[in-house]
Amino acid sequence: MSETQHSRQLQRKLGARHLNMIAIGGSIGTGLFLASGATIANAGPGGALLAYALIGVMIYFLMTSLGELATHNPTSGAFFTYGSKYVEGGFGFALGWNYWYNWAITVAFELVAVQFIMKFWFPDMPGFYWSALFLTVVFAINALTVKGFGESEFFFSLVKVLAIIIFIIIGLVMIAKIMMTPDVATFGNWSQGEAPFVGGLSALIGVAMIAGFSFQGTEMVGVAAGESKDPQKTIPIAIKQIFWRILLFYIVCIFIIGTLIAYDDPRLLQAAATDDVALSPFTLLYEQAGFAFAASVMNAVILTAILSAGNSGMYSSTRMLFDMARKGSAPKAFARLDPRGVPMNALYATTAIAALCFLTTFIGEEQVFNWLLNMSGMCGFIVWLGIAVSHYRFRKGYLAQGYKLEDLAYRAKFFPFAPWFAFTLCAIVVLGQNYQAVLDGEWLAVLSTYIGILLFLAIWLGYKWKYKTKLIPYQQMDVQPMKIDRE
């Protein structure tokens, strides 16, 4: 690597509004627009609402933990760096690679989803071309300067946010009309049949998993901290706003859908199973309100959501690979920056993996695709577990070395309860994902479900065996705040 390439750095061009929209862009997508109906169908309106509320509390604690870590050490390596500095070298190494291939694979899923969405308008055109087109668009956006990426993500996410706000307004107006109608039970769908809770504890755990997958992407603000302006100020602002906006969107939307559509309406399950936008609970309620063009509008919104999630995923995975390479945990070629401060080699590698993953669907390897899907979903929870462990150990090490909490740029609340609660709930969701297959001895299904955990452990233990790494004692941790070059 040349001296010029060594001197180049990531550009700190992202403001608080960019950070807000990057996290929102990564976490609000088809999970809300299509799968939210399935959560109500499986657990009833009360079960779905409780599951999202519990996961929401967990995410709040995780985001505050991440806020403390990211303001103290704002780096694009985020979870890789925190795991390596505050837990153990192999743990951080495994977390970094886990996060990279998680989002590289997720980008591929979003590109495959594009095919289903575009069939709404162009049913006879092969889906491969749409995936290739959108991959090109996502690559081009990420090849821009970081400020160009931030502005595009701001626009994509703004479209989704406006669509949700309009939906909430229409839904509340519809509920108000029902309340003013004599002899009509306003919350009849909350008391019919088995409602508000359907399917018992197992259904609640299943919905909690879906809810968790829906919230994945909020942690992207930790990666974006490496290119944010004045992270000590922008990160805390973004952390607070992101959580409340996303939680409000999910909780209010679930309440509206559960109130206006019966949980046993078969269309709720069909939307998630078939990716049919005409069956999305958003589309169904728009049509109930008298908007004949609802399906076309929602199709455009979901298309924007997919592009936004793929765009954010490509950004986060590229930055993670760059930072690992910069610190010697990935090939050094990926640490090179072009004159605009963009890690193009890392972007090429991430794009190649994304392309290989979605191409498997075109040759009929559905089982391979399902395994990758399960691995991606599990990887997100592994990252959250890593955040909880890293924050707990950082705080312990920080205090053990005589530093004062008052000196932290941002201090997470409810320590140590918060990271312990987040870790425990996250572990329950992860281990309970397919416990029935374990009890029934269906080992292929078990392997398919938990392959993400097995791969993470293989990378971690392999690194630990090769380099003989050990848990870092609190007194030996590097808890010094990161010096920020704002040039």
Three-state DSSP state, 433 = coil
Judge whether 128 and 121 are in contact, CB under 8 Å.
Answer: no
Task: Read off the pLDDT of each residue in 441-452 and give the average, rounded to a whole number.
Answer: 82
pLDDT of residue 360: 66
Nearest-angstrom CA–CA distance, 60 and 247: 9
Burial degree of 271 (CB within 10 A; 0-12, 13-18, 19+): buried
The burial of 470, by beta-carbon neighbours within 10 Å (0-12 exposed, 13-18 middle, 19 or more buried), is given as exposed
Alpha helices in 261-293, H assignment, sequence order: 266-274, 281-288
Please give the pLDDT value at position 475: 94
Q: What is the dihedral of CA 391, 61, 383, 477, to 10 degrees?
A: 0
- In the block, residue with structure tokens 């925190």: 82
Q: Which residue has the tokens 């993670």?
A: 320
CA torsion through residues 347, 353, 356, 358, sign: negative
Percent pLDDT > 70 in the chain is 86
Any idea which of 111-125, 211-225, 361-375 has the lowest mean pLDDT?
361-375
- What confidence tens digit (pLDDT) does each residue in 189-241 have? 888 888 788 888 778 877 887 787 777 777 777 776 666 777 777 778 777 77
Each residue of 404-437: pLDDT tens digit? 999 898 999 899 999 999 999 989 888 877 777 7
For residue 380, the model assigns a pLDDT of 86
The pLDDT of residue 2 is 42
Q: What is the pLDDT of residues 60-85, one digit of tens each?
A: 899 899 989 988 988 877 888 999 99
How many angstroms separate the CA atoms of 409 and 236, rounded? 9
* pLDDT tens profile 254-264: 999 899 888 88
Higher-confidence residue: 2 or 154? 154
Interval 271-323: pLDDT, tens: 656 556 667 788 888 877 877 777 788 888 888 888 888 888 898 899 889 98
Residue 403 has pLDDT above 90, yes or no: yes
Average pLDDT, the chain: 82
Per-residue pLDDT, 474: 95
More confidently predicted of 313 and 358:
313
DSSP one-letter string for 95-162: HHHHHHHHHHHHHHHHHHHHHHHHTTT-TTS-HHHHHHHHHHHHHHHHTS-HHHHHHHHHHHHHHHHH
Q: Report the pLDDT averaged over residues 2-30.
A: 59
Residue 332: pLDDT above 90? yes
Most confident of 22-26, 135-139, 159-163, 236-240: 135-139
Question: Alpha-carbon distance 257 to 143, whole Å?
Answer: 39
Does 487 have pLDDT greater than 50?
Answer: no
Q: How far apart are CA 317 and CA 105, in angstroms?
A: 10
**What pLDDT, on the 0 to 100 scale, is given for residue 7?**
39
- Contact between 71 and 408 (Cβ < 8 Å): yes
- Residue 151 pLDDT level (bands cut at 50, 70, 90): confident
Which residue ranges make up each domain of the chain?
11-470
Model confidence at 141: pLDDT above 50: yes
Secondary structure (3-state) at 479 = coil
CATH topology of domain 11-470: Amino acid/polyamine transporter I (1.20.1740)
Q: Is pLDDT of 5 > 60?
A: no
Residue 73: DSSP 8-state: S
- Displacement of CA 313 from its chain's centroid (Å): 8
Given a cut of 70, whether residue 476 has pLDDT beyond it is: yes
> Which pLDDT score is estimated for 400?
94
Task: Out of 24-28, 159-163, 236-240, 381-385, give the one with best mean pLDDT.
Answer: 381-385
User: CA 171 to CA 181: how far, in whole Å?
Assistant: 16
Spatial CA neighbour of 244 closest among 59, 415, 420 = 59
Q: How far apart are CA 223 and CA 81, in angstroms?
A: 10
Token pair 């996502």 in the structure block, residue: 138
The strand pairing partners of 14, in sequence order, are: 228
Name the strand (E) or helix (H) holding 22: helix 16-27
- In the prediction, which pLDDT does 325 show? 92
Most confidently predicted of 62-76, 164-178, 396-410, 440-454: 396-410
